[in-house]
Structure 1
């Protein structure tokens, strides 16, 4: 199977290359075609015992390519995916470009990946917030039912890209170095992100942001049932690790210890929940892991059937690159 990776030099693109390089698929795949913008053209990226030169879409040859992965902004995916599909190349898209298109299956591999045929021409991978929350909700929906979800979604700067991470670093260094109020004005966020929280992820559509609207849309698609969701999405001054503080109203009553056992026995979930020993997950602690971590599971003393918890995962690996690798493995084994 020959693969092309669009956005190869971005945070997610590089993580895909790292995972692919260390997987059994590396022996089955030919050297991937790496595609990025003109800024990165000519850069060389290690892959196995060789280096691969990054090309632009116009200069890259897609001859023989069977699968194209888009780790690109939505506007780039929208621009190039139709042309790639016209060449009879299967597409795995990590952007939000087609997540609202009912004609394009939305995939969270551990939940519905194996029911989405391997020969599907075009699949859209859900957002990291949806992936981690749906992974936790699915077993609860099946066991007891979920009436309502309330979540505060905390996005790291790496979600916005490498330049956003650089902006956080520069602003933090400037403030720690005594820059004070004269800190440089950023370009990646509407407000200073260092030592701050920015309550905007994506553009505004009415009162809600793209991330907040997207969570509701995507959860309903992945879970295949309407679940009311109230959410607030914020950027926090961290580099890696997506987290959510979640309140769930269940359709029945389920004790916290039963929830812990249910989630611990569910595929893709790691429960770390021993507050007496200060054992719980953090965004930083999820770096370079592939699962969804759940902590602080507790019942609401004021409302029967209401649970609260904290969930986190590596947004680049578990929330993006691993989804691609799992999809490729499924396609390879069911070709």
Structure 2
């Protein structure tokens, strides 16, 4: 199968948008529970997970449950964090959800209105509650010269990874845990995944906005299919010299990457069309193409929908009130 650019967006932004497709949204969420805090929606919970919350013997008395809503008890960030931790710990010990077999001991922040933390929770459990998560992605590229076209460093994920094995990725990418900033995440991941020196990255990386989407996890993501994963990925670019001259060259470091390939834009486009990129990395690559003039209204009839969908206005409180005004 070959994918159009819009079909690549459909793969990563698969949840109906309440603002643009209200009927589809209503039909999709008819049997979902809204995860709320102070009347604000902070996530969506599918029936499979709601059933676990209804099992008080397993989930405890840390939840306020109505037919259509779920909220976490606790008057403080610390209390809510502890209640969420106890719930997910019990689920993990009971092997209630396969996704928790990938437990990372890494905390993510879920935000309340005005960018304030609502609670913190285990990263692997976030899709169970459909809460908004964050990451940083960087595209490292060699600019065009009089004799060579622009080329992009593209890594192939290790075959042994539990999620998206052997698929293509952005040059550097990682989730953003508690206390981390987007730039600090990129600098850390650049060293761990690609052996890129921190000082070099800090000096040469350039912020390029973000992409946002609402992903519905499939089997290739690991764990239960159908779990919800809205995300904001902060996007960075970094131009480097020719690998046979100025460098630096990305080199696998932590076992998560099998190889790095230096591909031309047509070669990357072909891999995208074949569906070989991890879905959210395809979104970041399309955003790179738009920003660098490789994808525009002259060669892509769906450019308006593609660009709009890659920068979706999400209905959840975010870590920065002005995120969607940047």
TM (norm. structure 2) is: 0.29
* Higher RCO (C-alpha 8 Å, min separation 6): 2
TM (norm. structure 1) is: 0.28
